[in-house]
Amino acid sequence: MTTESTLNLMKKTRKKNSGPELRQDLVSGDWILFAPKRTYSLSRGSAIRKQSRKTCPFEDPRRAGGGKIIASYPEGELINWRVQVIPNKSPAVQISRKIARQRGKGHLRHIEGYGHHEVVITRDHNNNFVRLSEEDANLLFHVLKDRYQAIAHDKNTDFISIFHNWGPKTGASVYHPHYQILSLPVVPPMNQRSLLNSRRYNREYHQCAHCAEIKLAQKSKIRIIHEDELAIAFIPYAPKEPFEFRVSPKAHSPFFEKSTEYEIHSMIKALQFALRHLENKIAGVNYNFYFHTAPVKERSRHAYYHWHIQVVPRLNITAGFELTTGMEINPIFPEEAVSVLKH
């Protein structure tokens, strides 16, 4: 679908008298300003341009990884491989046998940046996640799960981030589809806030905030993109970005790495379905998706959490208001966004 036809569809689905509205996200506690009359464009000069295989560094993962391959799948296969894992050539953190310790006094504190930074590469140069076969998509998630479990054994691992950048506006410098895993000796602020709000909700209402959100989406019936017995893709009540959505296992589960093969299969199906609709409606759309899962340490303290995958299309521009308030402006109500994606 062209950008123009998508915009026309948005105009048809938009309520004539819909005015600005502030909504609070159930999990993060963030307030989002919905401004439907705000001037908006789905085109930000972000078209995804293919890169030649001849100049693609990931056609030879061993070379891209500085001569090292961390893992190859099918297991041990180096010639007919489908997924390979290599060290990031410009790692944000470094592996160390030493223990990262918080140092400093008063307000000036620091901790060594010890951790792992890996790149997971799928074989086909042009098949992004949406275009992966069922077999390869399942293999990819199996690899992510394997690497998560391996990195979790490092004493410097408090938190593991798994993410995918698709398109130049997302931070992707290489066209060839790839995924990244980055571990840290601390829990990042955004994730800490999500954990704290989830814990607060659990104490106050005696239920999981994410399970509650899923039930609210099911009750509304108009914010669901895809649903089967084990997984659901839906737009939350207060998304920060236009067409942002979540994919979640329906059964309560704090830890991605403890998911069953059946749950993962359903999660993949829901994620591919929703991304396919997103790509069909917005030509050349750039997006990130990332995993939210409970931290590695003190696991018994995070039983209230619920792992999920967040998909964030990169359509908005962060400007003065967002920088000065920390509050995002979303020009599209979630109900409208779903109607466009499913139309």
Tokens of residue 126, six digits: 């042009």
Q: Give the model's pLDDT for residue 9.
A: 59
Q: Which residues lie closer than 8 Å to 68 by C-beta, 6 or more apart?
A: 62, 86, 87
Tokens of residue 2, six digits: 């062209």
Query: Are the beta carbons of 30 and 240 closer than 8 angstroms?
Result: yes
Same-domain status, 282 and 199: yes
Pairing of β 178-184 and β 159-166:
antiparallel
Residue 28's pLDDT band, with cuts at 50, 70 and 90, is confident
Query: Are the beta carbons of 143 and 120 closer than 8 angstroms?
Result: yes
Same-domain status, 177 and 223: no
Same-domain status, 136 and 28: no
Task: Calculate mean pLDDT across residues 168-182.
Answer: 92
Same-domain status, 116 and 178: yes
Task: Calculate mean pLDDT across residues 297-307.
Answer: 91
Q: Is residue 64 part of a domain?
A: yes
Q: How many CA atoms lie within 13 A of 22 on its CB side?
A: 4
Residue 88's pLDDT band, with cuts at 50, 70 and 90, is very high
The alpha carbons of the chain give a radius of gyration, in whole angstroms, of 20
Residue type, 236: P
Tokens of residue 18, six digits: 């819909």
Q: What backbone phi and psi angles, to 5 degrees, belong to 201?
A: -60, -40
Query: Are the beta carbons of 233 and 224 closer than 8 angstroms?
Result: yes
Task: Calculate mean pLDDT across residues 41-63.
Answer: 78
Same-domain status, 267 and 303: yes
Q: Give the model's pLDDT for residue 75.
A: 86
Q: Give the model's pLDDT for residue 126.
A: 92
Same-domain status, 303 and 208: yes
Same-domain status, 239 and 145: no
Q: Is residue 229 part of a domain?
A: yes
**DSSP secondary structure letters along 68-118:** --SEEETTT-SSS-SEEEEE-SS-SSB--SSPP-EEEETTEEEE--B--EE
Residue type, 49: R
Residue 45's pLDDT band, with cuts at 50, 70 and 90, is very low
Query: Are the beta carbons of 291 and 249 closer than 8 angstroms?
Result: no
Residue 153's pLDDT band, with cuts at 50, 70 and 90, is very high
Q: Which residues lie closer than 8 Å to 97 by C-beta, 6 or more apart?
A: none
Same-domain status, 262 and 179: no
Helix (H) or strand (E) run with residue 249 in it: strand 245-249
| Model pLDDT for residues 190-244, shown as the tens digit of each residue | 899 999 999 999 999 999 999 999 999 999 889 999 999 999 999 999 999 999 9
Same-domain status, 125 and 153: yes
Q: How many CA atoms lie within 13 A of 69 on its CB side?
A: 17
Percent of the chain with pLDDT over 90: 67
Supply the mean pLDDT for the chain: 90
| Model pLDDT for residues 237-276, shown as the tens digit of each residue | 999 999 999 999 999 999 999 999 999 999 999 999 999 9
Kindly tell me if the per-residue pLDDT of 297 is higher than 50: yes
Kindly tell me if the per-residue pLDDT of 43 is higher than 60: no
Q: Is residue 257 part of a domain?
A: yes
Q: Is residue 306 part of a domain?
A: yes
- The residue among 131, 158, 184 that closes a domain is 184
- The residue among 184, 219, 235 that closes a domain is 184
Q: Give the model's pLDDT for residue 105.
A: 74
Kindly tell me if the per-residue pLDDT of 341 is higher than 80: yes
Residue type, 83: V
Pairing of β 329-330 and β 31-34:
parallel
- The residue among 184, 217, 238 that closes a domain is 184
Q: Is residue 312 part of a domain?
A: yes
Query: Are the beta carbons of 281 and 340 closer than 8 angstroms?
Result: yes
Of the two residues 8 and 106, the one the predictor is more confident about is: 106
Same-domain status, 121 and 226: no
In the block, residue with structure tokens 């992966």: 132
Of the two residues 195 and 13, the one the predictor is more confident about is: 195
Range of the domain at 210: 3-47+190-342
Of the two residues 10 and 139, the one the predictor is more confident about is: 139
Kindly tell me if the per-residue pLDDT of 109 is higher than 70: yes
Residue 29's pLDDT band, with cuts at 50, 70 and 90, is confident
Same-domain status, 199 and 338: yes
Task: Provide the number of structural domains found in the chain.
Answer: 2
Of the two residues 306 and 13, the one the predictor is more confident about is: 306
Q: What's the first-to-final CA gap in the chain, in angstroms?
A: 11
